């Protein structure tokens, strides 16, 4: 795991925390199930499959990017990621997807699949890729190497951070841990202390914020 930038891990945690705050990615569903069953246990039971689905969505994007990184230049892959972030961010600025549910029974795997689809619909996995690019880009050049040799080293280091299963696997786990902690905290706070009535009075358009974040990250990927 040499060459990984120290700032990458807090950023991954922060991204997970932001995903956890977004009601469209899990906690609102968990609270709704708890209120439907009139049981706080239903809230806690929902958290594990929700986190599992979210982590699987992140891992799927990282795995796809790693496979593509083997067969195409890293620069081209970064342009593709940036283009997706810009396009998807612009799309989410004009249209929002929200979960809908009624009086229903949801099983463990059904909830995990729902979480996987919601995280995928939000483009969550693509927000992790720039951090993995940055991990490799933060690697130091070997002594006595500069110019094109230094650029080649940075290229291979960035690709290595993306395709290294230990680094990418740990990145997914760190991100998902941040997501799970914040999702659980918000779900508990809303269910136990605030209630859904608060959402009618103090609603933030997190989908709008998320769309802006996708666009900004896409620009960042192109510039770095």
The pLDDT tens digits for 24-77 are 788 888 887 787 777 889 899 999 999 999 999 999 999 988 888 666 676 777
Residues 175 and 42: beta-carbon distance below 8 Å:
no
User: What separation, in Å, do the N-terminal and C-terminal C-alpha atoms of the chain show?
Assistant: 21
Q: Give the integer Cα–Cα distance in Å for 37 and 44.
A: 12
pLDDT at 179 over 90: yes
- Domains of the chain: which residue ranges? 8-223
Mean pLDDT on 136-144: 49
Task: Calculate what percentage of the chain has a pLDDT beyond 70.
Answer: 67
**CB neighbour list of residue 38: distance below 8 Å, 6 or more residues apart:** none
Phi, psi torsion values for 100, nearest 5 degrees: -125, 135
Look up residue 192 and give its DSSP letter. I
127 pLDDT higher than 90: no
Contact between residue 119 and residue 57 where contact means Cβ atoms under 8 Å apart: yes
CB 114 within 8 A of CB 29: yes
54 or 165, which is more confident?
54
Q: What is the per-residue pLDDT for 100?
A: 47
- State the pLDDT at residue 125: 86
The CA distance from 1 to 4, in Å, is 6
Mean pLDDT over the full length of the chain: 75
Most confident range, picked from 50-59, 83-92, 95-104: 50-59
């Amino acid at each position: 795991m040499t060459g990984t930038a120290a700032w990458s891990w807090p950023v991954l945690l922060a991204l997970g925390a932001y995903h956890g705050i977004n009601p469209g990615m899990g906690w609102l569903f968990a609270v709704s199930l708890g209120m439907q069953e009139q049981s706080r246990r239903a809230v806690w039971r929902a958290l594990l499959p929700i986190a599992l689905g979210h982590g699987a969505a992140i891992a799927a994007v990282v795995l796809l990017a790693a496979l593509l990184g083997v067969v195409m230049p890293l620069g081209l892959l970064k342009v593709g990621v940036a283009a997706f972030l810009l396009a998807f961010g612009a799309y989410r600025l004009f249209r929002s997807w929200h979960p809908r549910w009624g009086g229903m029974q949801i099983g463990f795997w059904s909830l995990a699949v729902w979480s996987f689809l919601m995280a995928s619909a939000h483009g969550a996995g693509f927000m992790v890729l720039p951090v993995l690019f940055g991990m490799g880009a933060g690697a130091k050049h070997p002594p006595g190497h500069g110019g094109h040799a230094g650029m080649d080293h940075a290229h291979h280091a960035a690709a290595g951070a993306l395709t290294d299963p230990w680094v990418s696997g740990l990145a997914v786990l760190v991100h998902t841990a941040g997501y799970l902690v914040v999702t659980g905290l918000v779900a508990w706070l809303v269910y136990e202390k605030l209630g859904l009535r608060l959402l009618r009075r103090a609603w933030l358009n997190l989908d709008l914020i998320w769309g802006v974040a996708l666009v900004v990250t896409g620009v960042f990927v192109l510039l770095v």
